[in-house]
Structures are given as C-alpha cells and as structure tokens.
Homo-oligomer: A and B are copies of this chain.
Amino acid sequence: MKTEVCDRFGIEFPLFAFSHCRDVVAAVTNAGGFGVLGAVAYSPDRLEEELRWIDEHVGGRPYGVDVLVPGKIAKEAADGRGSLLSAVPPEHWRFLSGLFEKYGVPAPSPEALGDPRVDGVGRQVTQQGATELIDVALAHPIRLIASALGPPPPVMVERARAAGVPVAALVGTVEHARRQVAAGADLIVAQGGEAGGHTGEISTMVLVPEVVDAVAPLPVLAAGGIATGRQMAAALALGASGVWCGSVWLTTEEAETLPAVKAKMLAATSRDTVRSRSRTGKPARQLRSAWTEEWDSPASPGPLPMPLQMIVAEGAMAPIGKAAEAGNEGARQLANYFVGQVVGLMNTVKPARQVVYDMIEEFADALERLNRITND
C-alpha cells in the first residue's frame, strides 16, 4: 500500500496506532505500521525510560509520541504553583468518598490520593509540564509528535521543526483543522465523535471528507470508528491518507488495560459508551459505568475543569482497579476507561501484530468486493 503518509513516514501500511503501552507501539511499528506513544500519563523520567525501551525494540523503524496540551485549563493549574490537589473543592472529595462508600470499595488513604504521581498527572497537561515531555520526546529518534487536544503550542512547533520532526494535531471540526494548520501542524488527524477519548460530535463519515477538502494538500488521517479493514477501506475512500486507531489496541494481548476493564470491553456492545466529562473535565468517550452515571447524575457536584477532574479520577481509579481485580463487585461497576463505539467490534484478544495483519487482509477483501461491484 502506498499513500502520501507511507512515503513520508517510511511505513508499509498507513495505519497509526495510538497507545499508552510501549509494547503496542513497538509491535505495530514492527508490523509495518506506525506506533504512537501517548505520553500524558508519564512523568518526564518515566517517558525517557519508555522511549529508550521502544528504541531498543524497533530497530530504527518509525514511531511517534503524543502529548496533551489543552488550551483552556483550570486557572489553578495554569498558574503552575502549589499542589493541584488542594485546588479540588471539598465538595468533590466528599462526593468521591460517598461513591467509595456507596459501592463498598475500600477508600484510598489520604496519602494515596495525595500521591505526587497523581498530582503529576494534572501537572503534565499544563503548558510547562507538556514542554518537559516534548523535550524528552525530541531527544529520541521519533518521527512524529502529536498534539492530542487543541492547536500545537508554538513551543512544540518550534522545537519539532528544529528537530526535523513533523507535527500532527487531532481535530473534531473543520474550524479546528484550519486553526491547527495555521498553528503549524503538518498532518491532521480528523477524529469523529464515535472515537474514544476526547472527542467532538461530528461523525467520521462526515468529518473526514470535510477536513480533507479544507486542508488539502496536507494529508489527513481518519480516526474514530476504525478497528477493522472494512473501516480502514471506508476511511481511505473518504479521502484520508491513512487511519489513526486507538481503541482497538486496548483488548490486545500486549495492552496494559486492567483485566476488569478488558473483560468489560470484550463484552460491551457499541451502545455501551458515553461522552462524559467525568474522567478528565472535558468531554471524552469512555465505557458507560457507575462512575460516569454517578458523576453525570443530578446528585453530582459536576465534573471539575481539566486537569482537576483528571486528578480526582486518576486518584480514584487506581484503588478501584485494585479492588475490581480482587473481585469487589462495586469496584467492577465503577471501573471504566476511554474507548470508542468500536468497542462493540472488539470481541477477541489478539496480539497487536495480528490486529495489523487482519486489518490489512480485510482491507484487501473490502477493496476486491468494491471492484467486483463496480465491474460487474
């Protein structure tokens, strides 16, 4: 296969795999695609460690890094001073304690909630925190750096240009795409509302051709609703130069998805996701669970702005995950994770490599069928 992005990125298949798991990133890159490590959950030291591991496992093949630099965040975080934990209102801590009690989950100790790593999760999505991650990433032989939310900030564009690394940006509307191009993006990822994680409301089927026309001749990757070769063929028919998949890796053998969440994903139908602010403070598609239902209920104080809600959610999800593994039923009800509507098509555990090969094979079948339809 050959599209603009295959040539440009030196890959066999125009299939980009977004994952927080280094094993998935390396497996997809080694299978002929392009792995992209989501760096938001990592401290600079940890990111350094992950990228060193990837370098050792991909033999010079191309991969990238994705960071989250939101434009609008809570002012406490933007200040960059003091503990973000102390900016979470007591009302929200009370609501959280109430949830642990209601679902019979052992409440985490105040020390666990005050864990500096939890504070760090909030810190990394600030301008300063993200810049540290960008510097770590650009010191490795990465071939792409992506801005997961909002236009790439000038510091990202400048440093990436200096390092000769193209910049990608995820967009949910045509207006965002134009803004991201003006900010210096070299590659646009048009992500439909059916996608997992932070997402808008325009579907992939509508968004991709709109964005392709708006940013031509820049190449566009399609994201959202793509987990099979038929969907990859559809995305390329819409005019995309490749696809960007995130959800499909969550049920692979390599994925570090919590077993309780993985089991939920394997059982879920396409109706079992919801776009909710309850995990990060911005609308993000995820498994519908007691967590999303409670935070989005009238009894809730409402999700906090990013990154404060991330702090609350990340601090809670670790003990919830642990309790779910130990068989706690309430914890299993609460457990969730970001995933798109394609979760309904994710029904078996496979190695990430196999997902790539299956997609390419199904892509070829879909194209053969299209040709048969047209030539008959």
Contact = CB atoms under 8 A, between A and B. Distances in A.
Interface of A: 1-3, 173-175, 192-194, 201-207, 209-210, 224-226, 228, 230-231, 233-239, 269-271, 340-342, 344-345, 364, 366-367, 369-371, 373-374, 376
Contacts of A366: 237-239
Contact of A270 (B207, B225, B345, B373): B207
Contacts of A207: 270
A365 to B, nearest CB: 10
A341 B234 contact: no
A237 B370 contact: yes
B204 A205 contact: yes
A101 to B, nearest CB: 31
Contacts of A369: 236-237, 239
Given A204-B205, A210-B345, 14 more contacts: A1-B376, A175-B271, A192-B203, A194-B205, A203-B224, A206-B231, A206-B270, A206-B342, A209-B228, A233-B237, A236-B369, A239-B366, A239-B369, A367-B371
Nearest to A225: B205
Contacts of A1: 373-374, 376
B237 A2 contact: no
Nearest to A363: B374
6 contacts: A3-B373, A173-B269, A206-B225, A230-B239, A237-B367, A367-B374
Contacts of A209: 228, 230-231, 345
Given A367-B370, A373-B2, A206 B345 contact: yes
B364 A206 contact: no
Residue in A192, A209, A341 with the greatest tally of chain B CB atoms within 10 Å: A209
A230 B226 CA distance: 17
